[in-house]
Amino acid sequence: MPSTLWRRVILAVLMLAPFAWISYAAVTQQLGADPAKTIVLFTGEWTIYSLFFTLSVSPLVRFLKWRWLMPHRRMLGLFALFYALCHLLSYMVFILGLDMSRFLSELAKRPYITAGAPAILILIALGVTSTQGMMRRLGKNWQRLHKLVYVALFLGWIHVLWQVRSSYFDAVLYGVITALLLGIRLYWTAKKRRKRGKKPLSNC
Amino acid sequence: MQQSLALGTAAVAVGGVATATAKPSFVADADVSSPSWLSQKLAEASADTATLDDKLTPYEHVTSYNNFYEFGYNKDDPAKHSDTLKPHPWNVEIAGEAEKTGSFNLEDILSKVELQERVYRLRCVEAWSMVIPWIGFELGSLLKQFNPTSRANYVAFTTLEDALQMPAQGNAFSTIDWPYVEGLTMAEAMHPLTLLAVGLYGKALPNQNGAPLRLVVPWKYGFKSIKSIVKIEFTQKQPPTSWNILAPNEYGFYANVNPEVDHPRWSQATERRLPSGLFSPNIIDTQMFNGYDEVASLYKNVDLRKNF
């Protein structure tokens, strides 16, 4: 029974649903006076959520024995890249009207944008190298490279934190989840090192 | 454009319509509940006949896209969650450096002023803007009635603080210390452009727009235009203001619209006039003092870069 395929289809549909919804709402003009800002915020939030899902796979497999999730981790990561690109493009087109000189000056002048940009570059690099072929070609370096996803998530959180205006809620919530997801990796790495007599290696 | 705007009220008499009582030019087909004395007064407000080049922002957007953090953090929260506010009856406390002070009922306050329609640009510090037909009266015409003393250098304003009527005031994650406070110099407060609004689009202010009484200072960023005012105090010293307290490097006391001085986190050189389409964003250049050049004389001796 190809249950893996079914799960893949269901997960893909679930992950695409937010995109479908915001597109539908935009086309039918249900996003109010400032649809641009709504779309940029929405796609940014879904980038972070997708990263949370991706990085939750390993803990769920280890703690809840949800092994069926493992084959779908790459797809979840690719959705993070997908929403990140939507976020970047909607900012450039809907907010800046494709004014490239303004894009570059904002990139240089606004710390929260400067912090977000490398996060997107990391996700692009990870997406490009996510194929089986690339995995083989890069060998051990593949894993080193893909640990950058932790940096991407951390930068994503900084990107949110530096935009706090009237409420700390999102920044605190995302901070707690980020700390949990990154903290568990540190814990696993430390445990493994102790077991193997200081040999640094971690898989998840 | 600027001159004709300042002449708005005077021009009414020359208007072509020969009705005994002038009517506002822009009246929304909307159902905003207000006591009959207020509805009647709003209907009699003199029209703003100044022809502003700017297109009005539709009523539905003016009343559904709001920063009013007492009701939530999202732009649509105030419209959804401000039913708890009870704008009538409403009292305003007048305090500080004036001969006459005390608590005054809104109906009494309004009985002593003439309501006028004023079409103003509203420029938010977040780099979006709207054009709104307010109904209100000159703040100066009210302040004079209390005979401020020679020690009255500033005017401080306070929003209602009541977590039952303003539920988000109970939220633990808020960066703002309630109640929301704002302030103006006496000269700014007495300037004929400075308005106390009680309505928009010919109707009473909806709760999400600051019912029943709010400030409108069109040459300053929107956060200066404090909503749901319960206290006006004449002070000798510069009063504290909410956004300045929480981020003094980002929000100054003056907060005049100024394309030359960027907010640290975004540019103020341009603005998106709402509603803004997706594939052709309505991006326009921001004007000094939001285009209200007549206030420039108030700042002749002020370094606007330092006093942003």
Structure confidence at residue A202 (pLDDT): 55
**CA-atom Rg of chain B in angstroms:** 18
**Which residue in A34, A94, A168 is closest to B175 by CB distance?**
A168
Q: Quick check: is B301 in a domain?
A: no
- Calculate what percentage of chain A has a pLDDT beyond 90: 87
Coil vs helix vs strand at B18: coil
The answer to whether residue B58 scores a pLDDT higher than 60 is yes
CB contact at 8 A, A148 and A130: no
The number of domains in chain A is: 1
**Which residue in A34, A95, A164 is closest to B274 by CB distance?**
A34
- A94 inside 8 A of chain B by CB: yes
Lowest mean pLDDT of A83-87, B12-16, B87-91, B231-235, name the range: B12-16
**Residue carrying the six token digits 């709001």:** B66
Q: How many other CB atoms are found less than 10 A from the CB of residue B82?
A: 25
**Residue carrying the six token digits 């004929």:** B192
Cβ contact, residue pair B262, A93, below 8 Å: no
Structure confidence at residue B21 (pLDDT): 53
Cβ contact, residue pair B173, A172, below 8 Å: yes
Q: Quick check: is B303 in a domain?
A: no
- Calculate what percentage of chain B has a pLDDT beyond 70: 93
Distance from CA of A168 to the nearest CA of B (A): 5
Q: What is the mean pLDDT of residues A89-107?
A: 93
Q: Quick check: is B306 in a domain?
A: no
**Which residue in A33, A97, A112 is closest to B274 by CB distance?**
A33
* B184-219 residue pLDDT tens: 999 999 999 999 999 999 999 999 999 999 999 999
Q: How far is CA B81 from the centre of its chain?
A: 21
Token pair, residue A188, equals 């696993």
Structure confidence at residue A82 (pLDDT): 98
Q: Quick check: is A73 in a domain?
A: yes
Lowest mean pLDDT of A4-13, B249-258, B272-281, name the range: B272-281
Q: Quick check: is A204 in a domain?
A: no
- B276 inside 8 A of chain A by CB: yes
Residue span of the structural domain in which B37 resides: 2-296
Structure confidence at residue A2 (pLDDT): 65
Per-residue burial over A161-193, b if 16 or more Cβ lie within 10 Å, else e, is bbbbbbbbebbeebbebbeebbebbeebeeebe
Residue span of the structural domain in which A94 resides: 3-195
Nearest CA to B182 out of B157, B163, B199, B205 is that of B157
Structure confidence at residue A201 (pLDDT): 56
* A5-34 residue pLDDT tens: 999 999 999 999 999 999 999 999 899 899
- Please name the residues in contact with A83: beta carbons below 8 A apart, sequence gap of 6 or more: A18, A19, A43, A44, A46, A47, A50
* Packing angle of the helix pair A35-64, A3-27 (nearest 10 deg): 160
Q: Quick check: is B253 in a domain?
A: yes
* Of residues B20 and B308, more confidently modeled: B308
Cβ contact, residue pair B281, A33, below 8 Å: no
Distance from CA of B22 to the nearest CA of A (A): 31
Is the ipTM here above 0.95? no
Instruction: Kindly list the distances between the CA atom of residue A155 and the CA atoms of A109, A116, A160, B202, in Å, as whole numbers in the listed order.
Output: 17, 6, 9, 48
Cβ contact, residue pair B174, A39, below 8 Å: no
- What whole-number distance in Å separates Cα of residue B68 and Cα of residue B76? 10
* Chain B residues within 8 A of A33 when measuring between CB atoms: 57, 61, 64-65, 75, 130, 274-276
- What whole-number distance in Å separates Cα of residue B301 and Cα of residue B68? 33
Q: How far is CA B276 from the centre of its chain?
A: 22
The number of domains in chain B is: 1
The answer to whether residue A40 scores a pLDDT higher than 50 is yes
The CATH number of residue B129's host domain is 3.90.420.10
